[in-house]
Amino acid sequence: MFSAFFRSTLVALVASAVAVSAAPGLQLALSGADKVDGLNNLKIIATVTNTGDETLKVLNDPRGPLSQMPTETFAISHDSGAVPAFTGVRVKYVPSVAAKVGKEDAFTILAPGESINVEHDLSAAYNFTSSGAGQYSFAAVNRFHFVDPETGAPVELYADQPDAHVASVSGPLSIARRSVTKRETYTGMYTKQYYETLQS
């Protein structure tokens, strides 16, 4: 017959196992061409997968992989250690405000096992002239926020990111771009309630 101590320990272990199995989880994977001729052809696909067992309402943070806004979403390094210049936009973003406003375009809803692919045009955010042609490794911001279904508050969650994407980049390493004005609004993506665009 089980002792009271053993029974209480067993219950605690079971409760702990249930809590672990119910923990939310995301995985982030990057893919793209192995060889890229010209910065205008440098596209990276970010695949975000819900690896947990509950549906997640994930905020489309403009600073992260779920948004196509040309922010500093990626950590990029040449084999030599050199890094390309960031030429995109910087934004102020408050997850709690986005969660509270609750507009549909502010979220991505992922059921357990479901994935979403988002293509990123890196020519809109980086200039590779100073770092030069060669082989590069690409990693992405893996910090996400999902909305707690009970409180409505954003909860921070870091996605697993098993491997960086590696690609050889050659050809023209920069493109002509228009200037970015302070507090510019990107129509159809967010509103000023969600973010402010700042000059780079």
Residue 3 has pLDDT above 70, yes or no: no
Poorest-confidence range of 10-19, 108-117, 149-158?
A: 10-19
Residue 102 confidence (pLDDT): 82
Asked if 145 and 100 touch (Cβ cutoff 8 Å), the reply is no
- Banded model confidence at residue 8, pLDDT cuts 50, 70, 90: low
Judge whether residue 194 has pLDDT over 50.
no
Q: Which pLDDT value is given to residue 184?
A: 45
Angle formed at CA 186 by CA 180 and CA 189, multiple of 5 degrees? 145
What local confidence, expressed as pLDDT, does residue 190 receive?
42
What is the per-residue pLDDT across 61-114, written as a single tens digit (0 to 9) for each?
A: 999 999 999 999 999 999 999 999 999 999 999 999 999 988 889 999 999 999
Q: Is the pLDDT of residue 162 over 80?
A: yes
Largest CA distance in the chain: 78
State whether the Cα torsion 55-61-62-64 is positive or negative: negative
The pLDDT mean for the chain works out to 85
CA–CA distance from 183 to each of 91, 140, 176, 192, 193 (Å)?
9, 25, 21, 8, 12
- Token pair, residue 68, equals 């196509």
Q: What percent of the chain has pLDDT over 70?
A: 77
CB atoms within 10 A of CB 107: 19
Chain position carrying tokens 């210049």: 85
Q: pLDDT tens, 29-66?
A: 999 999 999 999 999 999 999 999 999 999 999 999 99
- CATH number for the region 23-198 comes to 2.60.40.2970
